[in-house]
Amino acid sequence: MIDYRIDRGSGVPAYVQIIEQTERALRMGTLRVGDKLPTAREVVAATAINPNTVLRAYRDMEQAGLVELRRGLGTFVTRSLARPEAESDSPLRQKVADWVARARDAGLERADVLALVTAALDVYDNEHDSTTPGDRERKKENA
């Protein structure tokens, strides 16, 4: 099960945060095909956001083919975003978790940590032109 967290100060709409958190859980293998997402009522109770916001996120994810809304049953994951070798990332995930703990202990806020990681990825990608095929496709679409 996923627990959504809404950061009201981020400037990112709540429905987008729900989608991003779901996608992240799908990439990490936390959510798997067949898993049930929390009901809109459960998300509203946990986050104090409008039910229509949750429903919009779920509809957008359904249109993207990530979930399926089944009347009277709930919303279920229909597609994984995890790489087949994601299980082998475990040691790397631990190193990242340790680094994040050190960064937070040093007083960095979530936005600071994200900015550091994004900047490091940008530098790496610029130096190595190591974008993935999906990144290259998005660059073409946005150009």
Residue percentage of the chain with pLDDT more than 90: 64
Helix, strand, or coil here: 77?
Answer: strand
pLDDT tens digit string along 26-51?
998 889 999 999 999 999 999 999 99
Q: 89 phi and psi, to 5 degrees?
A: -80, -5
Mean pLDDT across the chain: 88
pLDDT tens digit string along 117-140?
989 889 999 999 755 555 555 555
- Beta-carbon contacts of 40 under 8 Å, excluding residues fewer than 6 positions away, are 51, 54, 55, 58
Residue 77, strand partner residues: 67
Question: For the chain, what are the domain ranges?
Answer: 14-77, 86-142
pLDDT of the residue at 50: 96
Domain boundaries 14-77, CATH class = mainly alpha
